[in-house]
Amino acid sequence: MSRAALNKEFSGEIPTGTYGPAMHLTETLEGWRNEKPLIDSNICNKCEWCYLVCPEGVIYSENNDIKIDYRFCKGCGICAKECKKCAIKMEKEGAANE
Amino acid sequence: MNNRVFVSGDEAIALGVKLAKPKVIAAYPITPQTIVVERLAEMVEKRELEAEYMYVESEHSALAAVMGASVLGVRTFTATSSQGLLYMAEVLHYASGGRVPLVMMNANRSVALPWSIFGDQRDSLSLLDSGWIQAYVEDAQETLDMVIQAYALAENKNVLTPVMVNLDGFVLTHTYEAIDIPTEEQVEKFLPEFKLEGKMDINAPKNLFFSSSPSDNIRFKLQQHQAMEDSRAIIKELDRQYEEITGRGYGGLATGYRTEDAESIIITLGSITGLVKDVVDALRSQGKRVGVVKIRFMRPFPEEELVELCKNADKIGVLEKDISFGYHGTVYTNVADALKAEGKKLINYIAGLGGQNISADDICNIFSQLQSIDTGVNVPTLNFVGVKG
Amino acid sequence: MLKNLDKEEYFYGHKGCGGCGGSLAVRLALKVLGKNTFVVVPAGCMSAVGFLYPQLSFGVNALISPFASTGAMLSGIRAAANALDIKDCNVVGFAGDGGTADIGLQALSGAIDRGDRIIYICYDNEAYMNTGVQQSGLTPYGARTTTTPPGDYIHGSKNNKKDMFDIVAAHNIKYAATASIGNIPDYIRKVEKAKNIKGTSYIHVAAPCPTGWGIDSSETVSIAKEAIHCGLWYLAEYEDGVYKLNHEVREYASIEGYLKKQSRFKHLTDEDIEIIQKQRDRKINLIKRKVKNYEKILENQ
């Protein structure tokens, strides 16, 4: 399953009136976070609870592995707090542009 | 079916709407629009009109509901008056900014306080900036023809602007007249099927009615303004096409009656035009050079047309059923701006507020007063007819 | 449960605060409803963060309605879908406190009255969060908001939460439920149920707001669980005139524990907490009585 594509080439044009396309993303949000969730795949039992509780929907299962779309992770920490196996740790990081 | 019927203004609206075949109708009853919604409900019940007739609990909800329906690509209709129009005022801006091609009938009625169910034009004129095309009709025939043209205008892809059709409350909504109804075939020839390019579609989903940034907002508003400007030519073209098919044309954004060599002209809006035409004929038979200009659309405003129609007259009286407190009537301020470089004497006559009767004598007096300017009489710019100011 | 969820994400790249409860409620509901869905979102947090042109975050058809009009636009869309003979589509609205209980209440009432096949989901974060945490009709007793400051004079909100679940039930709605992101399987089950109701359904989902409640962004889901455990939030359903409590708490967790974790309740005195406790007891008794009454009615039928 592919993640939402970013329209990097967005020209800045406006449509006629407020008729816009669905799921049209022109910027990423990784600059929002101070810490980043890291999943320890040795402890993780692939229950996918983290996938359910993430408000952003950036956690997903692919090839029996739990992955995170860091482009849109805001580092809220819900996944780390809710993981029943304590397999997710939040690691400090600076703003993406620094 | 007999194509000539004896109906009221409200009923003419319903007949026009029936011919346009909207699929969703949502309206809240308010005097003097009630006959419109009642007739439409009857038509739906008799299966003469195949539409979803929604019960709504307020005018604000009525307009919101038809907006929601319209962006699925479905033709809609709603109607209101005075208090209801102002209650949905927020949604008027929403529809025009959202470029949703709605058609709405408004029965011009006085706005509280004091309460009055009778007609004047303060309701719609106070909302000229809402971004809607605003048409004002003179009689029941024009009413029916205008409703059909309103759909063609709103839905035109270069316009995509909602249209408000205004009828004077009671004096037009509830008076009876013999009118001709076009056939279904004629309407089908004139009014194309509704196709909305940006509509919500399961196979091509959209995100509508979004927010704009400070740098983008003015671009959206310019676009909206441009569409309204572009609609001028389209209004004239639709009038021409309609005349070709039905034999009835109305002359575009503004028309003149006996204005070519008039010295004094009264500018009117709505049903009062009929009475003024009668007075013009009577005074002409006495040798007085008078005429009347009827504004059919307040937005877009017929700037060029007014300059052209008034070019030979030097005394202009703007007769309207509203007042913008603390200045002049709104029709007057719009007209004064259009004619500002023309060196004419412009006088504002406020009459008909809250259903006040305007008589032929009143019109005669206005023409007399305008003519008296030539003899050096100082006529005040603003005049409330029938009251000492 | 995971099997029933669409793998696609239909609410993505939005600019909600990190840890936003409301966005989790929207995201999960859309994964239950899938791509054949039309979404209405009134002014509020979800519309403010999801429709900032050019960043448009809904993967299904979605639009912003005027603040008061969620119920009306939902009905309008359903009427058009019927006219176009679009079979099997969901028409769902996500409204917050204001859009549901205050400014939007009239249109919601009208929508239920019409009985159209729509789903109305209220994400309850207990204040007008989008405009900066002002008191709403769903703000609980004692809460600090920017319009109910916690001083000696006003001392936090003096109002009780409007009981929206009861209000919609009193309309004789086809289906209503309270839910919470603190119990995700229960919430998902209820959205699934609403999807299949041939009439109007309403779900009132607890959606904590870390920003407005004064908790860490990681605690959104756990605080919602605690609200259920201390009895301040109950999970119930109303269907065809019958009330049902989904989850009876045998022994309540500490109300004070739940309240004091949040900055918005920091100022509460013991007296305040006692009032809140009594309110909880009264509310639970009321719902239990309703459940018993309807059980009796069913028995007698």
CB atoms within 10 A of CB B82: 29
Section C60-77 average pLDDT: 98
Q: What pLDDT sits at residue C298?
A: 75
> Which domains occur in chain B, in start order?
4-246 (3.40.50.970), 254-384 (3.40.50.920)
Residue pLDDT, tens place only, B335-386: 999 999 999 999 999 999 999 999 999 999 999 999 999 999 999 999 999 9
- Collect all residues of chain A within an 8 Å Cβ-Cβ radius of residue B219: 14
Tokens 């009767």 sit on residue? B357
Q: Where are the beta strands (DSSP E) in chain B?
A: 4-8, 24-26, 52-54, 76-81, 103-108, 133-136, 163-168, 176-180, 206-208, 254-257, 264-269, 290-295, 297-299, 315-320, 345-350, 382-384
Q: What pLDDT sits at residue B2?
A: 58
- Provide the pLDDT confidence category of residue B174 given band limits of 50, 70 and 90: very high
What was the ipTM of the complex prediction?
Answer: 0.95
Q: What pLDDT sits at residue C35?
A: 96
Q: Exposed, middle or buried, B112 (CB in 10 Å: 0-12/13-18/19+)?
A: exposed
- Provide the pLDDT confidence category of residue A98 given band limits of 50, 70 and 90: very low
Q: What DSSP string describes B318-362?
A: EEES---TTS--HHHHHHHHHTTTTT-EEEEEE--GGG----HHH
Residue pLDDT, tens place only, A24-83: 999 999 999 999 999 999 999 999 999 999 999 999 999 999 999 999 999 999 999 999
Distance separating alpha carbons of residues B94 and B60, to the nearest angstrom: 11
Tokens of B307: 């300059």
Residue among B24, B57, B73 whose CB faces C76 most closely? B24
- Provide the pLDDT confidence category of residue C287 given band limits of 50, 70 and 90: very high
- Provide the pLDDT confidence category of residue C297 given band limits of 50, 70 and 90: confident
Distances in Å between the alpha carbon of B59 and those of B89, B120, B126?
A: 9, 20, 17
Tell me: pLDDT of A95 over 70.
Answer: no
> Which domains occur in chain A, in start order?
35-92 (3.30.70.20)
Residue among A17, A23, A24 whose CB faces B98 most closely? A17
Tell me: pLDDT of C216 over 70.
Answer: yes
Min CA distance, A97 vs chain B (Å)?
A: 23
C207 contact A CB<8A: no
- Closest residue on chain C to A29 (Cα): C13
H or E stretch covering C257: helix C255-260
Residue among C36, C62, C73 whose CB faces B202 most closely? C36
Tell me: pLDDT of C222 over 90.
Answer: yes
Residue pLDDT, tens place only, C267-282: 999 999 999 999 999 9
B335 contact C CB<8A: no
CB atoms within 10 A of CB C88: 8
Asked whether the CA dihedral A31, A32, A33, A37 is positive or negative, the reply is negative
Section B182-196 average pLDDT: 97
Tell me: pLDDT of A97 over 80.
Answer: no
Tell me: pLDDT of B76 over 70.
Answer: yes
- Looking at every residue in chain B, the average pLDDT score rounds to 97
Distance separating alpha carbons of residues B149 and B292, to the nearest angstrom: 24
- For residue C73, which of C29, C43, C50, C35 has the smallest C-alpha distance? C43
- Provide the pLDDT confidence category of residue C225 given band limits of 50, 70 and 90: very high
Give yes or no for a contact between B356 and B386, defined as CB atoms under 8 angstroms apart: yes
Q: Best of B23, B52, B193 to disrupt the C interface by mutation (most C CBs within 10 Å)?
A: B52
Give yes or no for a contact between A53 and A90, defined as CB atoms under 8 angstroms apart: no
- Collect all residues of chain B within an 8 Å Cβ-Cβ radius of residue C69: 60-61, 64-65, 91
Is B57 in Cβ contact with C107 (below 8 Å)? yes
* 3-class secondary structure, B272: helix
Residue pLDDT, tens place only, B114-147: 999 999 999 999 999 999 999 999 999 999 999 9
Residue pLDDT, tens place only, B143-154: 999 999 999 999
C153 contact A CB<8A: no
How many residues are given for chain C?
301
Q: Best of C4, C11, C56, C189 to disrupt the A interface by mutation (most A CBs within 10 Å)?
A: C56
Tokens 């004929």 sit on residue? B281
Min CA distance, C216 vs chain B (Å)?
A: 29
Q: Exposed, middle or buried, C107 (CB in 10 Å: 0-12/13-18/19+)?
A: buried
How many CB contacts within 8 angstroms connect chain B with chain C? 146
Tokens of C70: 């969620």
Tell me: pLDDT of A1 over 60.
Answer: no
- Provide the pLDDT confidence category of residue C296 given band limits of 50, 70 and 90: confident
Is pLDDT larger for residue C87 or for residue C195? C195
Distance separating alpha carbons of residues C259 and C261, to the nearest angstrom: 5
H or E stretch covering C175: strand C175-180
Asked whether the CA dihedral B220, B225, B226, B228 is positive or negative, the reply is positive
Give yes or no for a contact between B84 and B59, defined as CB atoms under 8 angstroms apart: yes
Residue among C65, C79, C113 whose CB faces B24 most closely? C79
Tell me: pLDDT of B323 over 90.
Answer: yes
Section B33-46 average pLDDT: 97
Tell me: pLDDT of A3 over 50.
Answer: yes
- Closest residue on chain A to C222 (Cα): A82
- Collect all residues of chain A within an 8 Å Cβ-Cβ radius of residue C21: 55
Tell me: pLDDT of B36 over 60.
Answer: yes
Section B286-307 average pLDDT: 98
Is A25 in Cβ contact with C220 (below 8 Å)? no
Distance separating alpha carbons of residues A81 and B237, to the nearest angstrom: 66
- Collect all residues of chain B within an 8 Å Cβ-Cβ radius of residue C47: 211
Q: Best of A14, A18, A24, A27 to disrupt the B interface by mutation (most B CBs within 10 Å)?
A: A18
- For residue B234, which of B147, B142, B155 has the smallest C-alpha distance? B155
Q: What pLDDT sits at residue C56?
A: 97
Give yes or no for a contact between A29 and A74, defined as CB atoms under 8 angstroms apart: yes
- Collect all residues of chain B within an 8 Å Cβ-Cβ radius of residue A16: 99, 160, 197-198, 223
CB atoms within 10 A of CB B260: 12
> Which domains occur in chain C, in start order?
2-300 (3.40.50.970)
Q: How many Cα atoms within 13 Å fall on the side-chain side of residue B120?
A: 26
- For residue C141, which of C262, C264, C259, C276 has the smallest C-alpha distance? C276
Tokens of B80: 């209101």
Min CA distance, B37 vs chain C (Å)?
A: 17
- Provide the pLDDT confidence category of residue A94 given band limits of 50, 70 and 90: low
Distance separating alpha carbons of residues C133 and C145, to the nearest angstrom: 6
Q: How many Cα atoms within 13 Å fall on the side-chain side of residue C8?
A: 14
C213 contact A CB<8A: no
Percentage with pLDDT > 70 across chain C: 100
Is B52 in Cβ contact with C107 (below 8 Å)? no
- For residue B269, which of B49, B160, B106 has the smallest C-alpha distance? B106
Section B265-282 average pLDDT: 98
